[in-house]
Structure 1
Amino acid sequence: MIRRLCGLALALALTAAAGAGTAQAETRTGQDTPGKRVYNGMQIAFGPDAPNLFCTIGAVGTDDHQRHIAISAGHCLGDPGKKYADREIPENVAPVYHRQDIGYGPIGYVRYFKDPEGSQTGHATKDYMVIELLPQVTLSSQGPYLKQTGEVKYPQGPVSPNALKPALDNERLLTTGNNEIITSGQTGVWYGTVMNNDNGIYRAPAPNKAGDSGGPVIWHVPGTDLPSQANNFQAAGPWAGITKAITLQLPPFNYTSSANILADLRAREAADPAHNIFGAGFEVTANP
């Protein structure tokens, strides 16, 4: 099922990538003002001079070290020299800006992004990015259209290919044909049935376009309201993933599951001698 709610024409899914190795932090006076709100659906740029090379935040919250964290798509950054991809990045070499408020300065810094390993649409199962947000920003669960209520837990679902054993409930995948996801982006808010699950990459007839990569996906909790004109196109539900790509398969719109992201974060934390991986133990903020 698909509904066009307030959409425009579709475009290519893959956003142009900014170079991680060349990004430089800048000090702006806006950072001295506390309380800037960061939320799912916020458009982000990776350099003050390139606002048209942008992606979108999929979820914000905290990790198990109580750091402020945002999740987006790994393919939003490129690293031809393989200097920063696939490792923790404690250096502030890849600042992240609110696209509509570049003058504020960086709202955070990329701490990890997965190399696509030759894919034009991001890594097959681990296409995500971890951003450490500045401690003075205010985290919000309320995006322009979607309010996120924790993370989806689906104990009856198949296990993410990235999960350790035993898998946690939030590392299990939505089954196809009987689950709907709701997404939002530049063309509005959409929903559709999960028609295919390929190792934790969902395909659904819920459109996305260039720049939406990394943006929010929630699970439609059965019995709750779908977005419509009657509720100003708003919806609430647990975080279920992020926007990934448009491909030639049908339906063409691809989404990386939250289960794949959370499972990989936990696996990388378990393998780290210091058990200090940015984003591990991620939980969506409960702040309104």
Structure 2
Amino acid sequence: MIRRWCVLVLSLTVLWTVAAGAARAETGKRVHNGMQILFSPSTPSAFCTIGAVGNDKYGHRIAISAGHCLNDPDGTYADREIPDDVAPVYDRADPAFGPIGHVRYFKDPEGSQTGHMTKDYMIIELVPQVTLSSQGPYLKQTGEVRVPGGTASPNALRPALDSERLLATGNEELIVAGQTGVWFGTIMDTTGGIYRSPAAHLPGDSGGPAVRHVPGSELPSQENGFQAEGPWAGITKAITLSLPPFEYTSSANILADLRARDAVTPGGVYGAGFEVTGNP
């Protein structure tokens, strides 16, 4: 039985009552993978993490995190587009800046951990006052994972795009980053498009970045300052009772679900066609 490891979930109803405030009219704040985020400045211990930053095909500036970071018990907002600015997102290190963005979609946590575990993600539209960056504290993301001919995400339309196909079990490694630094480990399972790996994380790292270790590239080490780079492979999901315990929602699942939803509602899905920013 899967145990949800990130218990720091907030009611969207509560979020809606928090005054969003206006972001300062200045540019230059970088938003990047590995940034810790809040949904209310009044609860700084209830945080999650950004997994990837980029643009969608409609010109929206997007950050991606974990859907289970929010809870909507009334079902008012979960699993649907949220065009209104009712759910602000803040940089945990600088909440006084004001919102860095607003939640546009998230999958309800009850579903994400059970029958809809393949769709545990959140889409945040970033405000114009921030600068997108591919460089996090430890990981630089170089585009998205593309796997020609691989096993397709269960969320994929047919035919699946290369970016909607999964990394192979047993001979691919994830490199992940969070509060305890940077870790890497072999992908041991891909059931439902969810990667299981010994690469470690902690509560609060939900939504944080995972990249594919490109064969021949440097792994993080003391010699290189614990830095690594690679294509975006997924986001931190859960700690479970299975071994190894650490789960990651694949980028293939997220990108495939965005495309599938966009096929039903063309032009209305924030994040559709997402590509990681090339900004340094």
Give the TM interval when normalised to the shorter protein. Answer: over 0.9
2:16 counterpart of 1:16 = no
1:126 to 114, 119, 128: 119
Bigger shift: residues 160-169 or 116-125: 116-125
**Which residue is 2:56 aligned to?**
63
2:65 counterpart of 1:72 = yes
Per-residue deviation, 1:25: 3.9
Per-residue deviation, 1:22: 2.2
Q: Is the 8 A contact 1:19 1:79 kept in 2?
A: yes
Q: What runs of 5+ residues in structure 2 fail to find an aligned partner?
A: none
2:23 counterpart of 1:26 = no
User: What TM-score do the two structures reach when normalised by structure 2?
Assistant: 0.95
Whole-angstrom CA distance in 2 between matches of 1:115 and 1:102: 25
2:67 counterpart of 1:101 = no
Question: What is the SS of the residue equivalent to 1:27?
Answer: coil
2:179 counterpart of 1:186 = yes
1:87 to 77, 80, 98: 80
Q: Is the 8 A contact 1:14 1:213 kept in 2?
A: yes
1:257 to 247, 250, 253: 250
Matches within 5 A, 1:183-262: 183-262=176-255
Whole-angstrom CA distance in 1 between matches of 2:39 and 2:88: 6
Q: Is the 8 A contact 1:21 1:84 kept in 2?
A: no
Whole-angstrom CA distance in 2 between matches of 1:25 and 1:139: 25
**Which residue is 2:276 aligned to?**
284
Whole-angstrom CA distance in 1 between matches of 2:172 and 2:6: 25
**Which residue is 1:114 aligned to?**
107
Per-residue deviation, 1:65: 1.0
**CA 1:25–1:277: 2 relative to 1, 3 Å:** farther
Whole-angstrom CA distance in 1 between matches of 2:89 and 2:114: 21
> 1:62-121: CA deviations, max 9, x gaps?
001111100000000000000000100011110000001010010000000011345657
Question: What is the SS of the residue equivalent to 2:218?
Answer: coil
Runs of 4+ in 1 over 6 A off after TM superposition: none
**CA 1:118–1:200: 2 relative to 1, 3 Å:** closer
User: What TM-score do the two structures reach when normalised by structure 1?
Assistant: 0.93
Please tell me the residue identity of whatever aligns with 1:258: S
Whole-angstrom CA distance in 1 between matches of 2:53 and 2:169: 26
Q: What runs of 5+ residues in structure 1 fail to find an aligned partner?
A: 1-11
Whole-angstrom CA distance in 1 between matches of 2:53 and 2:99: 16
Matches within 5 A, 1:24-63: 24-28=18-22, 31-63=24-56
> 1:113-142: CA deviations, max 9, x gaps?
011345657941000000000022100000
> 1:206-234: CA deviations, max 9, x gaps?
01110000000000000000000000000
2:261 counterpart of 1:268 = yes
Q: Is the 8 A contact 1:64 1:281 kept in 2?
A: yes
Whole-angstrom CA distance in 2 between matches of 1:122 and 1:79: 17
Bigger shift: residues 55-64 or 110-119: 110-119
What is the aligned residue count? 275
Q: Is the 8 A contact 1:67 1:135 kept in 2?
A: no
Question: What is the SS of the residue equivalent to 1:100?
Answer: coil
Question: What is the SS of the residue equivalent to 1:239?
Answer: strand
Whole-angstrom CA distance in 1 between matches of 2:155 and 2:112: 18
